[in-house]
Structure 1
Amino acid sequence: MRVATLFISLSLIPLGATLAGAEQLDAVRARGTLICGTLGLFEPNSFQDPKSGKLVGYDIDICDEIAARLGVKPEYKIIAVAARVPELAQNRVDVLTANFTYTPDRAQQVDFSDTYFVASENIAVARSSGIKALDELNGKRIATTEGSTSADYAKAAIPGAQIITFKDGPTAFLAFQQNKAEGYAVNILSLRRYQEQVETSSNPIDILPQSTFDAPFGVGVAKDSPALKAEVNKVLHDLEASGKLDEIWDRWVGKDSNYGLKRTFKVAPVSGH
């Protein structure tokens, strides 16, 4: 009877959860899927293809590669920026491939893989404002996404600025375009996309040349899952050694994309990690 009771109790555990102290890698393999938390709104990292309706992007390709090399299927869960750490810490996702920048505070709560992406953080201003440098934003408002490191980097770079946050990137950018803020802070890829979208509008924007930070992205992994973290790191290093990571980079942000950025980083432990 005690065995039967235990079986029934275990069967009621949600698919995305594990017992306390259990290794998440075992749950992934038993389930046959890798649940990747991703943002879904940030082109070119994770966004909905307008033709197919499917999630695509740099982070999606990384999720797919990790799943394939673990011998399971990828599953994507769209989450908010501020929900990334809670979703992972509570085992509602297995990993985060979600524009997840390393910070010491986050590293106290979850683990980071080695770096698989680096993007500079920048600030955009209305072209009509005449603002040319970061220090000209002292005393002014800067819009950004709630729970993002963009807010922290902007505040550190411009201590006198007022940082106002919104639930997601598009909402923050809309507020900026509606003159509710004099600046908009996010990574350079998102800024270039927004710049292209509004170039012919009545309110074009400029990107200030000085970055607030060069942000390393890691795959987020739960603290109690060292085996899963080790497997993720092995996949990332294999992708680099095979040239596959260069292919993914070129497809989304490099020579085959609208961004034309050159990859200058190597897969390595995140700075300060």
Structure 2
Amino acid sequence: MKKFTLVFISFLMIGFLAACGANSDNTNGSEKKVLKMATSADYPPFEYIDTAKSSDIIGFDIDLAKALAEKTGYTLQIQDMDFNSLIPALQAKQIDVVLAGMSKDPEREKNVDFSDVYFTANHMIVSLKDKEIKSVDEFNGKTIGVQLGSIQEEKANELAKEYDIKIENRNKISDLVQELKSGRIDAAIIEDLVAEDYFKNDQSLTGFTLEEANEEGYAMAFQKDAKLTKEFNDALVEMKESGELDKLVKKWLGDIN
């Protein structure tokens, strides 16, 4: 009886393994590799959560990441992090790629590799309409808020060499807006399209764009010397040449040219 039972179990195991093998064969080697992506989902329209509709992270960067993953044969796992945690997470190899409205700059390039730039934006000085700041010449004696670890923080430090300002940093853009409305800061430096998205929903806010050259532009960040950099960069070039990237820009950012 024991012998019969063992034989029977063996047949069951062989059948199970064969079934598994069949499922793998049916993919014809097309089984997708999992890619861990991180973003900071407080940056509409690039990455954010529309809590009125769902808990999913959506936005320009998310659609771009999905399109690139499809072209390169990866399945995305997207996680939300504070912006200042993104590069350390790449360095620790906890994640594979960052799309988070992150500017490509020489300081960051010491720690991570970047793709080509996929979008270029400007800085905007945001303040309350009833306490409007219309020029950086009004900065002296003011407290300026920036997102921790952002290119805007670097810009504030640059302005601090020229103006008598106090810099306050926060983890999220929404925190900056709240600090502004509570009177704890006088102005915030925010990326222009992100600021304009806040303006649509809050009539108490206003701002002006810092017209300047030398903005590096947004790029994907990868671990140092990762093969993913070339794979995704080649796919990005393909999207630029085919017009797919322009379609995403129009969908999320409108006609900005």
Same fold (TM over 0.5): yes
Where 1:208 maps in the other structure, the secondary structure is strand
Aligned positions of 1:5-154 closer than 5 A = 32-49=33-50, 50-154=52-156
Which shifted more, 233-242 or 134-143?
Answer: 134-143
3-state secondary structure, aligned to 1:172: helix
Q: Tell me: CA distance 1:215–1:195, structure 2 relative to 1, closer, same or farther (3 Å).
A: farther
Unaligned runs of 5+ in 1: 1-28, 256-260, 263-273
Question: 2 CA distance for matches of 1:77 and 1:130?
Answer: 36
- Structure 1 distance, partners of 2:95, 2:68, is 14
Q: CA deviation at 1:172?
A: 1.6
Bigger CA drift: 74-83 or 159-168? 159-168
Residues 153-168 of structure 1 mapped to structure 2, 5 A cutoff: 153-159=155-161, 160-168=164-172
8 Å contact 1:77–1:93 — kept in the other structure? no
Larger Rg: 2
The residue that corresponds to 2:174 in the other structure is 170
Find the counterpart in structure 1 of residue 196 from structure 2.
Answer: 192
Q: Superposition RMSD on alpha carbons, in Å?
A: 1.8
Alpha-carbon contact 2:146-2:156 (below 8 Å) kept:
no
Deviations 1:82-132 (A, max 9, x none): 101101111111111011111211110101100011111111122222431
Q: Which amino acid aligns with 1:88?
A: L
Equivalent residue for 1:219? 220
The share of aligned pairs that are identical, in percent, is: 24
Could you tell me which residue of structure 2 aligns to residue 179 of structure 1? 183
Local SS of the residue matching 1:104: coil
SS class of match (2:55): coil
TM-score (norm. length: structure 1): 0.77
Distance 2:35 2:205 in 1: 39
Letter in 2 for 1:114: D
Contact 2:127 2:205 in 1 (8 A): yes
The answer (yes or no) to whether the contact 1:33–1:67 under 8 Å persists in 2 is: no
Question: Which deviations, in whole Å up to 9, do the C-alpha atoms of 1:204-234 show, x marking residues without a partner?
Answer: 2221243466350110011121x21111110
Q: Which structure 2 residue ranges, 5 or more long, are not aligned?
A: 1-29
1:191-210 mapped onto 2 (5 Å cutoff):
191-199=195-203, 204-210=204-210
Q: Which whole-Å deviations, capped at 9, do the CAs of 1:25-51 have from their partners, x for residues lacking one? A: xxxx99721111111121111112332
Which residue of structure 2 lines up, in the alignment, with residue 23 of structure 1?
Answer: none
Q: Distance in 1 between matches of 2:239 and 2:199?
A: 31
TM-score (norm 2): 0.82
Deviation at 1:139, TM superposition (A): 2.1
Cα distance in 2 between the residues matched to 1:211 and 1:187: 12
The aligned counterpart of 1:26 is: none
- 2:132, 2:232 → 1: CA distance? 45
Check conservation: 1:142, 1:163, Cα contact below 8 A.
yes
For 1:142 and 1:30, locate their aligned partners in 2 and report how far apart those are by CA, in whole Å. Answer: 49
Kindly provide the CA deviation profile for residues 116-168 of structure 1, in whole angstroms up to 9, marking residues without a partner as x: 11111111122222431112112210112111111111231353221101121
Q: Is the contact made by 2:40 and 2:100 (CA closer than 8 Å) also made in structure 1?
A: yes
Cα contact 2:99–2:220 (8 A) shared by 1: yes
Once residues 132 and 60 of structure 2 are traced to their aligned partners in structure 1, the CA distance between those partners, rounded to angstroms, is 34
Q: Secondary structure at the match of 2:101?
A: coil
